[in-house]
Amino acid sequence: MRTKLSVVALSVVAAFALSACGQKEEPKPAATPATPIGKPEVVVKLGHVAPMTGPQAHLGKDNENGARLAIEELNAAGMEVGGAKVKFELLAEDDAADPKQGAIVAQKLVDAKVNGVIGHLNSGTTIPASKLYADAGIPQISGSATNPKYTQQGFATAFRVMANDVQQGKVLGEFAVKQGVKTVAIVDDRTAYGQGLADEFKKAAEASGLKVVATEYTNDKATDFKAILTKIKSTKAELVFFGGMDAQGGPMAKQMKELGIKAKFLGGDGVCTPEFMKLGGEASEGNYCSLPGMPLEKLAKGPAFREKFTKKFGAEIQLYAPYVYDAVMVMADSMKRADSVEPAKFLPAIGQTRYDGVTALIEFDSVGDLKGGAISIYQYKSGKLEYVETLGGSAVDSAKAEVKEAVAEVKEAAQAVAGAATAVGKEVAAEAKDVAKSAAEAGKDAVKAGAEAVKNAAEVTKAAVEKK
């Protein structure tokens, strides 16, 4: 049995051996080319803080949209830093314009290890939050906080891309004098922004010879101002200045009219919005406000920014969106120049910024304020903000505006010349057509006359031959 099994086993082995000998060796598959390794990607987290709830939510959303537009464009462009592709992410937080809530969300962003912060919207939330960012070494650029205390704290991390309240208050005080008024009542909402702007306005107004006949206070949640306005009415003030936001300014202007107060209303950037006119209604007409910077229409990149903003979000710019957009771009530009997204490495580059933004040629002074900030005055007319004049600002911005206006004038003149040339050309063409027609008719007559002459000559020749 063992022998039979051995034979069988040997036979099987032999068969497999023969089979193997008869087979060709299968070629080894060609090596697959190594897939090129793409560039590494680094995620850059930017915090953004603004009131997304409460009476200023429309302004907060405006700011956030400005930031999102910038980030979308940066990601589409494919920015690279340190050999890696940068992907920007926005961490948006709501501080409800409340300083305590502002500190809470600031700490949240610090804990999230964001690379930088855009905001906050309000000075009252920006100032306390700025210490938290400074302690963590996180760069912060505000596109709307105007109280001078923000940068006067001495934090190396704090910057802003618009004029401060010292610049704005001075311009507003001087403008009030130009309106020919001699007495003014001042109201502020007791926030860092409202009070700060009112204080600076008061300094400038008194320095220019205006008499402050009343100083009243409200808060940023109030809607009824009749008590303080009644006091102001008794002073017969010729102008009422309000330091605060549109949610209070609009109703205040409306109640001034209801109480028969004939004084003009004047406010800063916080009331220079479509929302103010919506809340104030007819009472808005003829009053004045100011905005840091020059009108978008007078800036080289302004009209294009407005067009793409409204196209993307289906809404008009409320107030600060262009400044927030520039704030994001400045931070990204600083990362690129420093070739690093690490806060400690690109922070020094922010202070060395010279960026041609939508709102201005952005450069910072030693404390992080915008150099040469311009202030523009507007008047509410027929439901729109009508530009009056620009005061202050850098020579570069003014030159840009003048060049733009000159280019527009040249373009208009060129169009006029082109139109005239077209008209002359049409006239010349018509005359040429008439001449050609006349020439053709003359040629036709000449041909006809020539044919008649040939015919007559032929007849004469025939007659002569027959005579012979």
Quick check: helix, strand or coil at residue 357? coil
Q: Is 2 exposed, middle or buried (0-12, 13-18, 19+ CB in 10 A)?
A: exposed
The pair of structure tokens assigned to 11 is 């036979």
In the predicted model, what is the mean pLDDT of residues 142-170? 95
Q: Would you state the pLDDT for residue 327?
A: 98
Average pLDDT estimate for 360-379: 94
Q: Is the pLDDT of residue 23 over 60?
A: no
Q: What is the C-alpha end-to-end distance of the chain, expressed in Å?
A: 150
pLDDT in tens, 381-433: 998 999 999 986 544 444 444 444 444 444 555 565 455 545 545 554 555 46
Tell me how far apart the alpha carbons of residues 251 and 266 are, in angstroms, rounded to a whole number. Answer: 14
Token pair 């948006």 in the structure block, residue: 92
Which segments within 52-120 are labelled E, that is strand?
Answer: 80-81, 84-94, 116-119
pLDDT > 70: percent of the chain? 75
Q: Is the pLDDT of residue 459 over 60?
A: no
Instruction: Give tens-digit pLDDT for 343-352.
Output: 999 999 999 9
CA 88, CA 114: separation in Å to the nearest integer?
A: 11
pLDDT of residue 39: 76
Q: Residue 160's beta-bridge partner residues?
A: 142
Instruction: Give the pLDDT band of residue 82 (cuts 50, 70, 90).
Output: very high
pLDDT value at position 205? Answer: 93
Digit-coded pLDDT (tens) for 190-220: 999 999 999 999 999 999 999 999 999 999 9
CB–CB of 163/264 below 8 Å? no
% the chain with pLDDT above 90: 72
CA dist 100 to 125, 128, 232, 375, Å? 8, 9, 33, 31
Average pLDDT over residues 233-260: 97
* Residue 368 scores a pLDDT above 80: yes
pTM of the model: 0.74
The phi and psi torsions of 208 (rounded to 5 degrees) equal: -90, 0
Q: Quote the tokens at residue 177.
A: 């004098």
Name beta bridge partners: 215: 186
Number of other residues whose CB lies within 10 A of the CB of residue 365: 12
Q: How far is CA 384 from CA 211, 273, 365, 381, 402, in A?
A: 31, 9, 34, 5, 24
Among the ranges given (7-11, 224-228, 249-253, 311-315), the one the predictor scored with the smallest mean pLDDT: 7-11
Query: At residue 104, does pLDDT exceed 50?
Result: yes
**Within 179-301, where are the H helices?**
192-207, 226-235, 246-258, 274-280
Q: How high is the mean pLDDT of the chain?
A: 84
